[in-house]
Chain A
Amino acid sequence: MHPRLTSVCLLLCLFCSGCAHWQMNSLAQDLRQEPPQATLLKVEELNMPSRDKVQFLLNRGILRFYTNDLSGCREDLEQAKNLIAELQAISISENLAAATTNETLRKYSGSASEQVMVHVILALSYLAERQLDAARTEVLQADVLMQSLAEGDEWNGQLAAARFIGGLVYQLGDEPDNAMISYRKALELLDHHQQAIPAILQQRLLKLSQQLGLDNEYAQLSQRFQSEEQNADSAELTVLYLDGIVSTKQQNRMSIYSPQANQMISIAVPHFPDHYVSPRQLLVEVDQQFLRSQLIESIDARVREDLAADMPKTIALATTRAVAKYQAVRSAQQNQNQQLAAALLNIFTVASEQADTRSWNMLPANIQVTGGPISADSHFSIPELALAKPSTALQTEISELNANDHLLVIALDIGRQYYPVVFSIP
Chain B
Amino acid sequence: MTSVVRSLTVLFLLTTLAACGTSVQRIASDETVDLSGAWNDTDSRLVAEEMVADALARPWISDYSSRTGKRPAVIVGSVRNLSHEHINVKTFVADMERALINSGRVDFVASSTERGEIRDERADQDINAREDTRNAAGQELGADYMLQGQINTLIDQEGKQQVRYYQVDLTLISLADNRKVWVGQKKIKKLVKNSKLRF
Contact A137 B196 (CB under 8 A): no
- Which residues does chain A contribute within 8 Å of B198, judged by CB atoms? 86-87, 89-92
Task: Say whether A93 faces chain B, with CB atoms less than 8 Å apart.
Answer: yes
Surface stretch bound by B, among A140-148, A280-288, A363-371: A140-148
> Chain B interface residue count: which class?
20 to 34
Chain B residues 136 to 174 lying within 8 A of chain A, measured CB to CB, are 153, 155, 157-160
With A144-B155, A144-B157, A148-B157: A137-B84 Cβ-Cβ less than 8 Å? yes
Q: Is the interface of B mostly helix, strand, loop or mixed?
A: loop
Task: Say whether B86 faces chain A, with CB atoms less than 8 Å apart.
Answer: yes
- Which residues does chain B contribute within 8 Å of A86, judged by CB atoms? 198
Q: Which of B84, B194, B197 contacts A144 (CB 8 A)?
A: B84
Contact B83 A140 (CB under 8 A): yes
Task: Say whether A136 faces chain B, with CB atoms less than 8 Å apart.
Answer: yes
- Which residues does chain A contribute within 8 Å of B62, judged by CB atoms? none
Contact B80 A133 (CB under 8 A): yes
Min CB distance B110 to A, Å, is 22
Task: Say whether A194 faces chain B, with CB atoms less than 8 Å apart.
Answer: no
How far is B85's CA from A144's CA once the two chains are assembled, in angstroms? 11
Task: Say whether A230 faces chain B, with CB atoms less than 8 Å apart.
Answer: no
Count residues of A near B (Cβ-Cβ below 8 Å). Answer: 20
Q: Which of A87, A89, A134, A148 contacts B196 (CB 8 A)?
A: A89
Min CB distance B50 to A, Å, is 23
Contact B84 A140 (CB under 8 A): yes
Contact B197 A133 (CB under 8 A): no
Among B81, B84, B157: residue with most chain A CB under 10 A: B84
Task: Say whether B22 faces chain A, with CB atoms less than 8 Å apart.
Answer: no
B85 (CB) vs chain A CBs: closest residue: A137
How far is B194's CA from A87's CA once the two chains are assembled, in angstroms? 11
With A88-B194, A148-B157: A133-B199 Cβ-Cβ less than 8 Å? no
Min CB distance A122 to B, Å, is 10
Task: Say whether B195 faces chain A, with CB atoms less than 8 Å apart.
Answer: yes
How far is B165's CA from A144's CA once the two chains are assembled, in angstroms? 14
Binding site for B on A (CB under 8 A): 82, 85-93, 133-134, 136-137, 140-141, 144, 147-148, 151
Binding site for A on B (CB under 8 A): 36, 80-86, 153, 155, 157-160, 194-199
* A91-B198, A136-B82, A151-B158 known, 10 other contacts, Cβ within 8 Å: A88-B194, A90-B196, A90-B197, A92-B197, A133-B82, A134-B86, A144-B84, A144-B155, A144-B157, A148-B157
